[in-house]
Structure 1
Amino acid sequence: MSRGRELLRYASTRLALAPVMLWLISTLVFLLLRVAPGDPVDAVLGSRAPEDVKAELRAQLGLDQSLGKQYLDFLRDLLHGDLGRSLIDENPVTAIIGRALPASLELSVTALLVAAVVGLAVGFTAIARSEGRLDLAGRFYGIGTYALPPFWVAMLAQLLFAVVLGWLPVGGRFPPGMVPPEGSGFLIADSLFSADWRALQGSLRHLVLPACTLGLLLSGVFTNALRLNLNRSLRSDYVEAARSRGLTETQVVLRHALPNALLPVLTIAGITVASLIGGALLIEVTFSWPGIALRLQESINQRDYPVVQGIVVVVASLVVLVSVAVDLLVALLDPRVRY
């Protein structure tokens, strides 16, 4: 079988498994919300509301039906693209996600770029002097940035750059005295398309501190991954063969060792960007960043079933799509991958 057909079969298998994974995740979230302690009706009306009012609202929301009936209704609406309405303000869940998701994507992509540039630079510099001081410093950097508590680093960054130095805003996504540009919800892109340079400056100033904080915390993952894989590549047979042909060490590293060492880093980058979409909760809470993770945390506290289910389904869909895309890209670039 040719490599093209093998790759097509591999892609078809991964894409066929994606709906099954989403169904399992959706079912698990549905069940966990129902068995968790607390009543969403109490979250809406308060625990001191009359019982008849509670019963009326519970019937209106369909919470008085059996668990099986609620689950079938949930799956039916999900297949039709209907994520329901919020129990708190009755806004469509799709509209709530549409307002929060661009903020998380903007923060995640910027943080990933910072993490990749800083982490790969530190990892490559450290391996250039193997077992030397730079290598030791790179190891400490990789372990330290990965082990530091995000909320603690975020608060230190706020105190230093926002409170003490006054260089950057302490939180938020946009200057409160300005009207954000209309469009896709991606403030930087909308500011560029509308040529609103004041809005662009305000958006960038609010983005720098949370994105750099999150990016530096994640950069250690890239540093360790590049160090380990590049060190392994430099000890491989094909690198020794390249050296025996008289190539300089720079040519050996850049042409032979580095491309193979970057393939696992590409996989890590895909996993990181997928997890960042909904996993930057502590950063979003600390910096008051109105993203999907902050909205999820608020909905969990309010027992807002439809919003929690909708956010998890959307985030899980993005995670699955990014993971499949990265796997296919690695399989396309690396002929050693077997399907």
Structure 2
Amino acid sequence: MSGNGALLRYLGARLALAPLMLWLIASLVFLLLRVAPGDPIDALLGTRAPEAARAALRSQLGLDLPLWQQYGQFLSQLLRGELGTSLTNQEPVRAIIGASLPASLELGVVALLLAALVGLAVGFSGIARPEGRLDLAGRLYGIGTYALPPFWAAMMVQLIFAVWLGWLPVGGRLPPTVLPPTDGGFYLLAGLREGVASGRWQLLAGTVRHLVLPAGTLALLLSGIFANALRLNLRRVLESDYVEAARSRGLGETRVVLRHALPNALLPVLTITGITVASLIGGALLIEVTYSWPGIAARLQEAIAQRDYPLVQGIVVVVAALVVLVTVLVDLLVALLDPRVRF
């Protein structure tokens, strides 16, 4: 089979599994919300509301239908690209997600870039002298940052840099004196565009100041994954036969590491990047709540507390679709770089 044919077959198999994964996730969330203790009617009307009002609202929201009918309506809406209407404020779920998702994407992308930069630097630093001080420090850094509880790390960073030192704001996304952009929820891009066009950098400066602590905290928690992955894979590659063959030809150690070992050691790290995107969800929830970041994770926490079925289902499905998309793109990139994956 030709290389292109194998690549297309591999990509087709990955794409064919994506809808199945989304259906399983959506169905699981639907069932878990229905069997979990609590009633959305209690969250909307309270426990002392008259039974007639409770029954009328339950009928209006379709919660009095049998479970299989609710599930059928949910799948029918999902296939049409509709996510329903929020139970708490009667807004379309798509509009709520559209207003909150850019903040989470901005936080997640910046945190992932910082985590990869710091983690790869730490993982690479101990290669010159294995089992030396730098290698030991990098190993401790990777284990320590991975084991940090996200809520504790966020509160400590907030306490040190925002409360004690007063260098950065405690939370929020913009200072109260700066108006948010009206042309989208990506404040970094809007601030950069405004600064280049008019020379006013207040929006960009305010966004960066408020982004440093939450993105830095999330990057700190994720950087250990990259550090350990690169360290372990690079050490394994440096002990392989083809690296020894390169050394036997008289090549310098620097060239052997950079030209022969590092590219092959980065391939598993690239795969881990796709898995790390899923880790962003759990970490971002606690980070966004701690820093009052108006993102999708904070909205999910509110929706769960309010038993807002459509909003929880919509957020989980959209986030799962993003994770699946990123995973497929990473797998495709790995297959392009490493032909062995295609077969």
Q: Same fold (TM over 0.5)?
A: yes
Q: Does 1:44 align with 2:48?
A: no
* Distance (Å, rounded) in 2 between the aligned partners of 1:213 and 1:67: 42
SS in 2 for 1:297: helix
* Distance (Å, rounded) in 2 between the aligned partners of 1:85 and 1:307: 7
The one-letter code matched in structure 2 to 1:333 is L
Q: Structure 1 length as normaliser, TM-score?
A: 0.98
Map of 2:204 onto structure 1: 200
* Distance (Å, rounded) in 1 between the aligned partners of 2:282 and 2:173: 17
SS in 2 for 1:183: coil
* Distance (Å, rounded) in 2 between the aligned partners of 1:30 and 1:240: 54
Q: CA deviation at 1:164?
A: 1.1
* Distance (Å, rounded) in 2 between the aligned partners of 1:259 and 1:125: 16
Map of 1:215 onto structure 2: 219
* Distance (Å, rounded) in 2 between the aligned partners of 1:104 and 1:333: 30
Map of 1:186 onto structure 2: 186
Cα shift readout 1:100-157 (whole Å, capped 9, x = no counterpart): 1111111111111111111111110112211111111111111011111111111111
Task: Please identify, of 272-281 and 298-307, the stretch whose mean Cα deviation from structure 2 is larger.
Answer: 272-281
Q: CA deviation at 1:277?
A: 4.5
Q: 5 Å matches for 1:278-297? A: 279-297=283-301
The one-letter code matched in structure 1 to 2:299 is R
The one-letter code matched in structure 2 to 1:8 is L
Map of 2:172 onto structure 1: 172
Contact 2:169 2:210 in 1 (8 A): yes
Unaligned runs of 5+ in 1: none
Identity of aligned residues (%): 74
Contact 1:105 1:277 in 2 (8 A): no
Map of 1:141 onto structure 2: 141
Task: Please identify, of 273-282 and 185-194, the stretch whose mean Cα deviation from structure 2 is larger.
Answer: 273-282
Contact 1:299 1:307 in 2 (8 A): yes
* Distance (Å, rounded) in 2 between the aligned partners of 1:334 and 1:288: 42
Q: Does 1:334 align with 2:328?
A: no
The one-letter code matched in structure 2 to 1:13 is A
Q: 5 Å matches for 1:1-16? A: 1-16=1-16
Q: 1:314 to 1:278 in 2, by over 3 A?
A: farther
Q: CA deviation at 1:177?
A: 2.9
Q: CA deviation at 1:37?
A: 0.8
Q: 1:102 to 1:278 in 2, by over 3 A?
A: farther
Q: CA deviation at 1:276?
A: 1.5
Map of 2:28 onto structure 1: 28
The one-letter code matched in structure 1 to 2:170 is V
Cα shift readout 1:217-241 (whole Å, capped 9, x = no counterpart): 1111111000000000000000000
Map of 2:155 onto structure 1: 155
Q: Does 1:321 align with 2:330?
A: no
Q: Does 1:225 align with 2:229?
A: yes
SS in 2 for 1:85: coil
Q: 5 Å matches for 1:231-246? A: 231-246=235-250
Root-mean-square deviation (CA), in Å?
1.0
* Distance (Å, rounded) in 2 between the aligned partners of 1:125 and 1:74: 51
Contact 1:125 1:134 in 2 (8 A): yes
Map of 2:280 onto structure 1: 276
Q: CA deviation at 1:92?
A: 0.6
The one-letter code matched in structure 1 to 2:314 is G
The one-letter code matched in structure 2 to 1:209 is L
SS in 2 for 1:280: helix
The one-letter code matched in structure 2 to 1:117 is L
Contact 2:178 2:202 in 1 (8 A): no
Contact 1:279 1:293 in 2 (8 A): no
* Distance (Å, rounded) in 1 between the aligned partners of 2:81 and 2:342: 36
* Distance (Å, rounded) in 2 between the aligned partners of 1:338 and 1:240: 27
Q: How many residue pairs are counted as aligned between the two chains? A: 339
Q: Structure 2 length as normaliser, TM-score?
A: 0.97
Cα shift readout 1:146-193 (whole Å, capped 9, x = no counterpart): 111111111111111111111100011111232101122111111122
Contact 1:100 1:292 in 2 (8 A): yes
Q: 1:225 to 1:252 in 2, by over 3 A?
A: same
Map of 1:98 onto structure 2: 98
* Distance (Å, rounded) in 1 between the aligned partners of 2:34 and 2:71: 10
Cα shift readout 1:3-52 (whole Å, capped 9, x = no counterpart): 10011011111111111111111111111111111110110011110000
* Distance (Å, rounded) in 2 between the aligned partners of 1:86 and 1:116: 37
Contact 1:146 1:220 in 2 (8 A): yes
Contact 2:150 2:283 in 1 (8 A): no
* Distance (Å, rounded) in 2 between the aligned partners of 1:38 and 1:31: 14
The one-letter code matched in structure 2 to 1:232 is R
